[in-house]
Structure 1
Amino acid sequence: MKKKLLTVMMAVMMTFSLSGCGNDVIVDVVTNDVENGSNQADTSNSGTAQGEQTASAEVAETNPAGLKTIPLEDVKIGVLYIGSASDTSGYTYAHELGIQGMVSNLGLKEDQVVRKESIDDGDDVAIKKALDECMDEGCNIVFATSWGYMEETAAYAEKYPDVYFAHGTGYMSNGSNFTNYFGRIYQARYLSGLVAGMKTKSNLIGYVSAMGSDNSECTGGIDAFAMGVEEVNPDAKVLVAVTNSWFSPDDEQAASDALIGKDCDVLAQHVDTTAPQIASEENGTWAIGYNSDMSKETPDATLTSVIWNWSAYYTSYVNSIVNATYDGSNYYGGMDESLVGLTGLSSLCEDGTQEKVNEMQQKILSGEFGVFDGEILTNDGTVIGEEGKTLDDATITGKINWYYHNVEVVDWK
């Protein structure tokens, strides 16, 4: 069912001042996940001093967006998860780490966070029920973390103009109480392509994707990964298996097995579970994890993981509401903001991989290389982009509906 569309704004960079401390590969912060002992990027101290300052400083009653400021002690946050907050890997796990980091950074109490778990993002009734419960429980800030929550969240932002709503992934926003947040995950995807391209022996690399070319989030990541593969291995191909679901453990497992059956000896993924990692370990091949550090589940297969450090965003967003600097802008961070990165490379990686990753990482950080640079040849012979230019954020987030020339979508069922 189509909802009344709010003003659509493609993700625009919101400038935040985020800090971090030291890292293996990309982001400037690495902490240990206490429960699992994993090497997971996070800004557990980022924003703490800022949060303490906010709590004691005089702030304006309204912010640049014209919304009321919320004192720290009155903040009540609702979070919609497609999985369980108790997950130990994958998409929801990465967001939960971010929420936990934000709570710690700002000194919030646990009862200031309401979690709505296992909300199917294709079920409008379930989404509305979760949002209604957040409103009934007094939430004044809501994070909707999955793509399919977008239109319902947009409608609730219109219905509750005094509540702050932020939607992860997607593209809708209204410039006021409904914003969009995502990031330059393609930067880390490109670097992980270097890792995969140097490791493969068969020159066939599999990629399990939740959605097809109609979804720019998935497709842009695949293309960036494929570009990284080609940088170090022009002979390699990337075979993509699409599950058509953001969360489908059985299909993710079947697609992974099918790709390995087609002689792919490295698997990458844009799906929520560890299925590609497990399939790789069971078959004696290798994999690139996503969302969080997946090496703790599959140490004999995972080469590295492309990760999100969501606490960098969550901390800054809530703090902007508390200190009256919130302006209704969308957020689109990257490696510079410590939002995305890679975990440390495992000993399974080929010699020289770290050096190549470091080289290209530095080029991205310096602005010398933007990944989607110049003329780009697609797999149908079309040329995208222009010499001497790089694709802008709006194009990368919403208009990449093509595959790079070394990518092939395969029938896996």
Structure 2
Amino acid sequence: MRKVLVLLVLSLLVAGVSVQAAEKKMKVGFVYVSPVGDAGWSYAHDVARQAIEALPNVEVKYLEAVNEGADSERVFLNMARKKYDLVFGTSFGYMDPMLKTAKKFPNTVFMHCSGYKSSENMGNYFGRMYQARYLSGMVAGSMTKSNVLGYVAAFPIPEVIRGINAFTLGVQAVNPDAEVRVVWTKTWYDPAKEKEGAKSLLDVGADVIAQHQDSPGPQEAAQERGVYSIGYNTDMSQFAPKAHLVAPVWNWTPYYMEVFNSVKDGTWKTGSTWNGIAEGVVDLSPMGDMVPADVKAQVMARRDEIKKGDYIVFTGPVKDQAGTVRIADGAVPADGELLGMDWFVKGVVGTTE
């Protein structure tokens, strides 16, 4: 009888442990630099967040409009102290605060978007948006009549400079006479300032406005002036249907799911990930009806070449603004060179500061 009771107690204990293990939830945090309603950068990440939140046995929290620097560090610390299993930080300026926090909390996996630093429990990831930028440049270069294109840009960091250069190379591939004029707003998200930046470019003759900004402000400015625009982050055509030609867009869901599952099953390893069109992280939105069929066909053919690896953006020769060859004929720059890019290609009007 005693043996039966012991076995029964042990069975109940095992069952209790099993139930507790089954009920244990993965805690996942997301930290955004702008509001999720920006229709841009943070919104694109939040689409992936919602996909993870829909999974069973997961607790998800996000914080929006968190400033880079000390504010973000407080947020990361708070999530780590609450024993979050996985934390995503989605702005370049979160890199050092996240790294500092990661070293203090080795049991939390931290993932930083757009940076380059890592540790045993912190990885970094980004997408080769320059591939889609190049393709959008081909569209813009085909549609301009003034041969002046405007680019409203956030901060002069390599990520943004690389995108401007890729866009310009795409423009020049179909229209060597066109130039790209750049204005810096020094903000990721400020709809009014972004719109004013676009207007300043329209005032000097730009008839296509591109952007590295989070809001559709530049799109709206273009439509109000009756010219064209190139969106960013998401399909922004609903905000400027008469102006919106196309947008380089993000699709974070497959990658975020992959990271989530690797943390959940214990196979996650630190490292750097830089996926592109081939992996589905970046792409183009549908092109507007105003884009001629032959332009669409040309752009999509080049997209297929990029996807297959048959065409590599930034293959030399590539000259800088002064006409100096920066990438030799036939050469392909290493990822480190692209990640540290701090110079403009020929055809860009503006400074990298």
Match of 2:136 in 1: 192
Secondary structure in 1 matching 2:123: strand
Show the 5 A alignment for 1:267-282: 267-282=209-224
Residues 139-183 of structure 1: CA deviation (Å, up to 9, x unaligned):
121100011111100100001011100011121112x21111101
CA distance in structure 2 between the partners assigned to 1:127 and 1:364 by the alignment: 36
> Aligned-pair distance for 1:71?
8.3
Partner of 2:193: 251
Which residue in the other structure is 1:120 paired with? Answer: 67
Matches within 5 A, 1:247-326: 247-326=189-268
Tell me, in whole angstroms, the C-alpha distance in 1 between the residues paired with 2:72 and 2:38: 23
> Amino acid of the residue matched to residue 403 of structure 1?
F
Higher helix share: 2
Consecutive unaligned residues in structure 2, runs of 5 or more: 1-20
On the 8 A contact 1:277/1:302 being kept in 2, the answer is yes
Alignment-derived partner of residue 365 in structure 1: 307
Query: Does residue 356 in structure 1 map to residue 298 in structure 2?
Result: yes
Is the 1:219–1:403 Cα contact (8 Å) retained in structure 2? Answer: yes
Task: Provide, for residues 274-294 of structure 1, a one-character-per-residue CA deviation record: whole Å limited to 9, x for no partner.
Answer: 111010111111111101110
Q: Distance in 2 between matches of 1:391 and 1:312?
A: 27
What is the TM-score with the length of structure 1 in the denominator?
0.77
Look up the equivalent residue of 2:205 and give its one-letter code.
D
Structure 2 Cα separation of the partners of residues 263 and 217 of structure 1? 26
1:13-412 maps to which residues of 2 (within 5 A)?
73-85=24-36, 87=37, 89-104=39-54, 107-108=55-56, 112-121=59-68, 123-124=69-70, 126-174=71-119, 176-212=120-156, 215-397=157-339, 399-409=340-350
- Amino acid in structure 2 at the alignment position of 1:392: A
Moved over 4 A (4+): 70-73
**CA 1:355–1:157 in structure 2 vs 1: closer, same or farther (change >3 Å)?**
same
Deviations 1:324-366 (A, max 9, x none): 3212121111111100000111102134111111121122122
Residue number in structure 2 paired with 1:35: none
CA 1:234 to 1:73, structure 2 compared with 1: closer, same or farther past 3 Å? farther
CA contact under 8 A between 1:73 and 1:108: conserved in structure 2?
Answer: no
* Counterpart position of 2:16: none
Give the secondary structure class of the aligned counterpart of 1:149. helix
How far residue 73 of structure 1 moved from its aligned partner, in angstroms, is: 4.6
Shift, 1:400, TM fit: 1.0
Q: State the alpha-carbon separation in 2 of the partners of residues 108 and 395 from structure 1.
A: 42
- SS of 1:280's equivalent? helix
Aligned partners of 1:274 and 1:294 also within 8 Å: yes
Decide which structure has the larger Cα Rg and report it.
2
- In structure 2, give the amino acid aligned to 1:222: I
Amino acid at match of 2:40: G
Note closer, same or farther for the CA distance 1:204–1:410 as it changes in structure 2 (3 Å cut): farther
Q: Which amino acid aligns with 2:67?
A: D
For residue 132 of structure 2, what is the amino acid of its counterpart? Answer: A
Letter matched to residue 51 of structure 2: G
Q: Distance in 2 between matches of 1:324 and 1:177?
A: 12
Whether the aligned pair in 1 keeps the contact of 2:29 and 2:60 (CA below 8 Å) is yes
Q: Is the 8 A contact 1:114 1:134 kept in 2?
A: no
- For 2:315 and 2:171, the matched residues in 1 are separated by 16
CA deviation string 1:304-333 (max 9, x = no partner): 111010112111111111223212121111
Does 347-356 or 297-306 show the bigger shift? 347-356
How far apart, in 1, do the equivalents of 2:93 and 2:351 lie?
25
- The whole-number CA distance in structure 2 between the counterparts of 1:269 and 1:298 is 14
Corresponding pairs, count: 332
Unaligned runs of 5+ in 1: 1-69
Conservation of the 8 A alpha-carbon contact between 2:30 and 2:87: yes
Change (3 A) 1:380 1:133: same
Letter in 1 for 2:106: P
Normalized against structure 2, the TM-score is what? 0.90
Name the amino acid aligned to 2:74: K
Q: 1:316 to 1:344 in 2, by over 3 A?
A: same
Does structure 1 retain, via aligned residues, the 8 Å contact 2:116–2:272?
no
Shift, 1:118, TM fit: 1.1
Distance 1:396 1:409 in 2: 19
Distance 1:135 1:172 in 2: 19
How far off is 1:410 after superposition?
7.3
Q: Quick check: 2:34–2:188 contact (8 Å CA) kept in 1?
A: no
Shift of 1:129: 2.4
Structure 1 distance, partners of 2:351, 2:205, is 13
Q: Return closer, same or farther for 1:81/1:108 CA change in 2, 3 Å cut-off.
A: farther
Q: Secondary structure at the match of 1:268?
A: strand
Q: Distance in 1 between matches of 2:166 and 2:282?
A: 14
- Secondary structure, counterpart of 2:315 in structure 1: coil
